[in-house]
Homo-oligomer: A and B are copies of this chain.
């Protein structure tokens, strides 16, 4: 059946049967917003929930919440709650998270180069601006 890649790989790891470390890495960063979350936390520092939400146009609470929860579970980011009213919650990179950053930076470079290449070939007409 069509299992969640992330769950599937976790189970395989825990049961001692596994075959592919790069799939494991992919399962940690796969998710519509994860690499972008990690990029911002890694480059710019801690963010609050609402701050992250503003980065993505149209992300639902639930989805963002889920992505963050999974990243926390995987030890990539940490969640710090300040005992205030109204509540304040801060997300930041862990050391493990920072060790992932070079991969995301390479993905950024590769993507940028490829997009530029496509523009030069005339496949993409309009100019590209990183936001």
Contact = CB atoms under 8 A, between A and B. Distances in A.
A106 B118 CA distance: 25
Q: Which of A26, A108, A127 has the most CB of B within 10 A?
A: A26
A30 to B, nearest CB: 6
A19 B131 contact: yes
A128 B18 contact: yes
> Which of A18, A109, A113, A129 is packed against the most chain B CB atoms within 10 Å?
A18
Interface string A1-36: 000010000000111101111111110011010011
Given A16-B124, A21-B107, A22-B111, 6 more contacts: A21-B109, A21-B130, A22-B35, A24-B111, A24-B115, A106-B106
Given A103-B103, A110-B103, A39 B19 contact: no
Interface of A: 5, 13-16, 18-26, 29-30, 32, 35-36, 39, 96, 99-100, 102-104, 106-115, 118, 124-131
A73 to B, nearest CB: 12
25 contacts: A5-B32, A13-B115, A13-B118, A13-B124, A15-B126, A16-B125, A16-B126, A16-B127, A18-B115, A20-B36, A21-B109, A21-B114, A21-B115, A22-B39, A22-B107, A23-B36, A23-B111, A25-B107, A25-B108, A25-B110, A25-B111, A25-B114, A30-B30, A103-B106, A103-B107
